[in-house]
């Protein structure tokens, strides 16, 4: 069932939808919304993988925390740490007052789109089939 929070495939389905939205928003030049959907995609893909490994679902938006939990279960996603830190910060800064950070540049965001797509494909072991970035 698609809405089963204990089914990793449900999480991966939602993660892929957010990844497709991130690609579309990047192509439209809506970089803030692109970053938002990248964070959501990575969060859902990581949670899906962790649930499949026996992790008890936790309410968190902190991607660095999820990268750490993956590492404790034998999966090294440290290569995603920079994206995790920036996307988590952007996710929070875009929704709550009190943050004065510089958003990622379009070039940096393009890298995060590529990295998040790789993470998405690595975590569930399925190919991303949505829209791609423009050249």
Q: Is residue 88 part of a domain?
A: yes
Q: Is the pTM of this model over 0.85?
A: yes
35 pLDDT band, cuts 50/70/90, is very high
CA-to-CA distance for 13 and 41, rounded, in angstroms?
10
Contact 66, 11 (CB under 8 A): no
Residue 87: CATH number of its domain: 1.20.120.330
Domain presence at residue 1: no
Q: Tell me the mean pLDDT in the region 97-103.
A: 83
* DSSP H or E stretch at residue 20: helix 8-28
Residue 102: pLDDT band with limits 50, 70, 90: confident
Q: Which of 122, 133, 120 is nearest to 17 (CA)?
A: 120
Residue 134 belongs to some domain of the structure: no
User: Does residue 87 form part of some domain?
Assistant: yes
CA angle 110-93-87, nearest 5°? 30
Q: Flag whether 117 is in a domain.
A: yes
Q: Is residue 23 part of a domain?
A: yes
Sequence-distant (≥ 6) Cβ neighbours of residue 5 within 8 angstroms: 11, 51, 57
């Amino acid at each position: 069932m698609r809405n089963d929070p204990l089914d990793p495939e449900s999480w991966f389905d939602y993660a892929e939808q957010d990844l497709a939205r991130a690609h579309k928003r990047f192509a439209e030049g809506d970089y803030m919304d692109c970053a938002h959907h990248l964070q959501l995609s990575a969060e859902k893909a990581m949670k899906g993988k962790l649930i499949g490994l026996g992790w008890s679902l936790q309410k968190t938006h902190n991607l660095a925390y999820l990268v750490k939990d993956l590492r404790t279960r034998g999966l090294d996603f440290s290569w995603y740490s920079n994206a995790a830190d920036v996307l988590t910060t952007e996710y929070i800064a875009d929704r709550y007052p009190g943050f004065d950070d510089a958003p990622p540049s379009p070039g940096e965001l393009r890298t995060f789109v590529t990295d998040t797509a790789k993470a998405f494909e690595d975590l569930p072991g399925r190919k991303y089939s949505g829209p791609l970035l423009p050249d």
